[in-house]
Amino acid sequence: MKERAVATTLYLLPEDHCRLRRLAADRDVAAETLLLDAIDMLFERDGQGRVQRWEPRRNATSTGRRMMGDEPTLGQVLAKIEDIISTTTSMRAEFLAGMDKLRGGVLAGLDALRIEEKQRTGNTMDNLYDTDVVTWSEHQAALLRRVAAGEAPNEAPDWANIIEEVESVGQSQIDAVESLLFQAFLHDLKAEAWPLARDVPNWRGDARGFRAQARRKYRPSMRQKIDVAGLYADALQTLPETLDGQTPLPVPTMCPVTSIDELMVEP
């Protein structure tokens, strides 16, 4: 039949081509089938037979040429595509789940090895905190990230030392402000005790610089934790007995400011 067939090309405007495709999709048939059906209707009106439908053989095991009307419809093709997508999505989900399980197993194995190593060498986290705080901090950070991610590592974080470190962060900030204020008091006192010394301008400038740095680091939450009077008393005790052979002039024994807020005011 193929040898006797004559190829026919049909040209349609884009909008007419779209209309044909939509109509075929609505009827769940191939566009070619619609065209052949229309030709059949015209032939039948004239009392003629229907157009013979055929399709080239796909492979040697085919049962014969199939009629054009037996081709997969658009709906069947879409259903097949959806089935392929669904299968692929399911396989991907199973793969990711397997990878998560594998990752969990590897991490659990590493935890077990670490515990075994610590038991063998006696290198506990408490000892490591005292001997190698860098390695300790890196290991604790990794454990805390896993806990935050919802995992349950075999090794518990070193909570006691972690809490101590967290508290020390805030205390170190307070210590920094206190150190700067102490230096400011000391340099101002030296300028008052030896007003004729050549270094007085430098002492006053240094004192202003220390107060400026303290203002940058200060936070209102530190107000009740910084003993301004105690810092002034410490500075008094630190004054030298003489400077270049000169004894100091009398200086106030009481702190000239009553609160840290006075020191934090911009000049």
Give residue limits of the domains in the chain: 2-55+65-71, 87-157, 167-263
Mean pLDDT score, 143-169 = 89
Residue 208 banded pLDDT, cuts 50, 70, 90: very high
Convert the pLDDT of each residue in 119-141 to its tens digit.
554 455 668 888 888 899 999 99
Widest Cα–Cα separation across the chain: 137
pLDDT of residue 233: 96
The answer to whether the CB of 95 falls within 8 A of the CB of 102 is: no
pLDDT of residue 48: 84
Q: Is the entire prediction scored with pTM above 0.85?
A: no
pLDDT of residue 75: 64
- Give, in order, the Cα–Cα distances in Å from 61 to each of 52, 55, 56, 66, 158: 23, 15, 13, 13, 71
**Sign, Cα dihedral of 161, 166, 170, 175:** positive
State the pLDDT at residue 126: 62
Residue 107 clears pLDDT 80, i.e. is over it: no
Which residues 6+ apart lie within 8 Å of 77 measured at CB? none
The pLDDT tens digits of the residues spanning 65-75 come to 444 445 566 66
Compute the mean pLDDT over every residue in the chain, rounded to the nearest whole number: 81
Q: Which residue has the higher pLDDT, 187 or 12?
A: 187
pLDDT value at residue 68: 45
Closest listed residue to residue 110, CA positions, set 145, 156, 154: 154
- CATH topology for 167-263? Malate Synthase G; Chain: A; Domain 4 (1.20.1220)
